[in-house]
Amino acid sequence: MRLTEPVAGARILAFGGYQPARVVTNDELAATVETSDEWIRSRVGIASRRIAAPDETVADMAVAAGGKALAASGLSAEDIDLVVVATCTPEVQIPNTAATVARRLGINAPGAYDMNAACAGFCYALAAASDSVRAGTAGHVLVIGAEKLSQWIDWTDRSTCIIFADGAGAAVVGPAAEPGDAGVGPVVWGSAGDMADKIYINDRDSFIIQEGQAVFRWATTALHPVAKQACERAGVDPTELAAFVPHQANLRIIEAIARKLGAPQALVADDIVTAGNTSSASIPLALSRMIERGELASGAPVLLLGFGAGICYAGQVITVP
């Protein structure tokens, strides 16, 4: 049997992000549930978040972010042969989101699948995309994290409605000519199914339930070793990182992990302040905005770390396109 020709490495060619137009401030939430701007800022670090319009779908947001990443990559739709959408809030069970997104972006008949690793989704999808490129099963992959969490929130539950939000982020992954040009490092991933009951949505008529304190304890104790291991496997010392872009779950978790990672020089993403927690979208969305603002130099090493319901987690070092 003949097999595909492996490729030396994979790299990210471009990022793109999309946020819905509607800004929801803490004061707006404080008008309907018992909370305050000060309380939300100090507990989770969010000042405002974006919420999709009622008729705006996960696919709409994925198309917007994916289209931007594709345009920024300099490639055209026909160059993409695999589309992966990380989402835990698809509109329907079938059809999947990826095939619809591909069609709307004019990508002709690519491999297309959705992936659910909740808030770790983008890092899982990026690892799968990178491996597909390296194995020679895909040429260029469009990887998207897109969520409409607002549809799964009990807007009278002040412990969750202040946290979650909507948005999408995307990356185009392609081959690196030489191993030295590789831009996606080895993934360190895992799960803790014994904590499945800490963050869940029971069924179609339910809302996100989260045991905040238990998740906080887990995230601030279990994740920095994963982050360090991802650096080690990529051969990048934490002190060499230009930035640390973890899932934007809670600013207090982000700061605690960053402190324990030991990368005092690294720019730590704080996109949550104006984006809220957008689950699988948060990492590529934060990255696209940091690149847009000129905060990250091309070629700079950046550590990504996704974590959330499952519990699932994944981290890898990338280089900025």
Partner 1 sequence: MAMTEQEILTGLGEIIDEVAGVPADQVTPEKTFVDDLDIDSLSMVEIAVAAQDKFGVEIPDDQLKDLKTVQDVIDYVRRSEVSA
CB of 214 vs partner 1, minimal distance in Å: 6
CB of 250 vs partner 1, minimal distance in Å: 8
* 10 touches 184 (CB < 8 A): yes
Closer by beta carbon to partner 1, 256 or else 273: 256
User: Alpha-carbon distance 121 to 314, whole Å?
Assistant: 8
Q: What Rg value do the Cα atoms of the chain yield, rounded? A: 18
CB of 304 vs partner 1, minimal distance in Å: 24
The dihedral region occupied by 299, where left means phi > 0, alpha psi between -120 and 50, and beta the remainder, is left
Burial of 233 (0-12, 13-18, 19+ CB in 10 A): middle
* 159 touches 212 (CB < 8 A): yes
C-alpha pair distances (Å), 252 with each of 120, 256, 265, 267, 269: 18, 6, 18, 16, 12
User: Alpha-carbon distance 56 to 103, whole Å?
Assistant: 17
Q: Show the DSSP H helices in the chain as ranges.
A: 26-30, 37-43, 58-73, 97-104, 121-135, 212-234, 251-261, 272-275, 282-292
Query: Number of H helices and number of E strands within the chain?
Result: 9, 14
Closer by beta carbon to partner 1, 121 or else 308: 308
Closer by beta carbon to partner 1, 201 or else 256: 256
CB of 36 vs partner 1, minimal distance in Å: 13
Phi, psi of 111 (to 5 degrees): -60, 140
CB of 165 vs partner 1, minimal distance in Å: 20
Closer by beta carbon to partner 1, 108 or else 221: 221
Closer by beta carbon to partner 1, 133 or else 251: 251
Residue ranges in contact with partner 1 by CB under 8 A: 42-43, 212-214, 216-217, 220-221, 252, 256
Give me 176's structure tokens.
Answer: 């690196």
**Residues carrying an active site annotation:** 119, 247, 277
